[in-house]
Amino acid sequence: MTISIGDTVQVKYNSGKYIGEVLEDRGDRFLVKVHAVQKHPKQGDLHNLGQVEDVFFHERKALAHYEKMNVVRSAVRPFDGKIPDYAESLQDAIDDLKQTLLQKNTEYNELALTTLKNLEENDYTNSYYK
């Protein structure tokens, strides 16, 4: 699998998944510019996933449109599909995560849904949603 500068790739990064463009080859890493979100990052403490007590419950935003990430080579795969619109892909990723969280009624899922709602209302609405 050869990945070159300018290639469209799929990237796993900090519990999220993105489609982007390779800008630089940095040896053991690639610099990738975000074009779409495939999977929204998980909420909460990633080291204690599913827990809400005695942990700091992180609100994790998806990377912004055109944000750059420095990604290890092993997390980068070629992508040959059509790149979706960023705002639509973000909404789809949020909806997918919500559906997963709604499948089981737990304290973690309730808190994760609350943080997602907060992100939608206070961060994403002003920047990406029409």
CATH architecture of 8-127: Roll (2.30)
* pTM across the whole model: 0.88
Handedness of CA 115, 62, 108, 129 (dihedral sign): positive
Q: What is the pLDDT of residues 65-123, one digit of tens each?
A: 999 999 999 999 999 999 999 999 999 999 999 999 999 999 888 988 999 998 988 87
Nearest to 18 by CA among 70, 54, 55, 53: 70
Domain boundaries, given as residue ranges, for the chain: 8-127
- Taking the C-alpha atoms of residue 107 and residue 52, their distance in angstroms, rounded to an integer, is 7
> What CA–CA distance (Å, rounded) separates 36 from 17?
9
Rg from Cα positions in the chain: 16
